[in-house]
């Protein structure tokens, strides 16, 4: 249909007819009912809305969906399920790396992107990768431990 915007979201081809100026975050949450990414500030300042665009983290509140035709988007939902959580999700659970949980999806998405790029990141690299995302609750130490745990788990995973 004319005007449809085609995307690949979590490996699935989708077409949406939202206004092209609509922020990707709203399309994900309202049209596609993927509620992992959160609305925090809407201003590109908190990272709660982080998703991956062709594997790189972006603030989905800041990107108009009309700019993304044909691009590959990965949300928290694409990194695992409740029954089969991915390595970073498992590590966040094991380390109890959340308090209110509002930042958690964005942190997991950004940590996943880092570990795809750098198998064994230094503390400095982890901090730099997560720096755009805010946690207001002070869960930082647990989040850092979770990312280190996830990295170790990925490095020792079979295959």
CB of 141 to ligand FES, least distance (A): 12
Contact positions with ligand FES (CB under 6 A) in 81-100 = 98-100
Q: Could you say which of 20, 42, 64, 80 contacts ligand FES (CB under 6 A)?
A: 42
As a whole number of Å, the CA-based R_g of the chain is 16
DSSP states along 106-157: HHHHHHHHHHHH-SS--HHHHHHHHTTS--SSS-HHHHHHHHHHHHHHHHHS
CB 107 within 8 A of CB 133: yes
CB of 9 to ligand FES, least distance (A): 18
Q: Which residues contact 26 (CB under 8 A, 6 or more apart)?
A: 18
102 binds ligand FES (CB under 6 A): yes
Rounded Cα distance between 142 and 28, Å, is: 28
Q: Could you say which of 45, 81, 96, 120 contacts ligand FES (CB under 6 A)?
A: 45
Per-residue binder mask for ligand FES (CB under 6 A), 1-40, x = binder? --------------------------------------xx
Token pair in block for residue 139: 């869960």
76 binds ligand FES (CB under 6 A): no
Residues lying near ligand FES in the complex (CB under 6 A) are found at 39-42, 44-49, 59, 61, 98-103, 135-137, 139
């Amino acid at each position: 249909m004319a005007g449809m915007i085609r995307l690949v979201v979590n490996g699935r081809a989708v077409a949406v007819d939202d206004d092209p100026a609509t922020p990707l975050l709203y399309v994900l949450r309202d049209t596609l009912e993927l509620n992992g990414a959160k609305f925090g500030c809407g201003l590109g300042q908190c990272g709660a809305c982080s998703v991956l665009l062709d594997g790189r983290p972006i603030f989905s509140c800041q990107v108009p969906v009309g700019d993304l035709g044909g691009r590959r988007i990965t949300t928290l939902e694409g990194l695992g399920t409740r029954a089969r959580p991915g390595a970073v999700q498992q590590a966040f659970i094991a380390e109890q790396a959340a308090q209110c949980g509002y930042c958690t999806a964005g942190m997991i998405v950004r940590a996943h992107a880092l570990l795809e790029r750098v198998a064994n990141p230094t503390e400095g690299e982890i901090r730099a990768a997560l720096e755009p995302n805010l946690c207001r609750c002070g869960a930082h130490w647990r989040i850092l431990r979770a990312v280190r745990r996830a990295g170790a788990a990925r490095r020792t995973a079979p295959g």
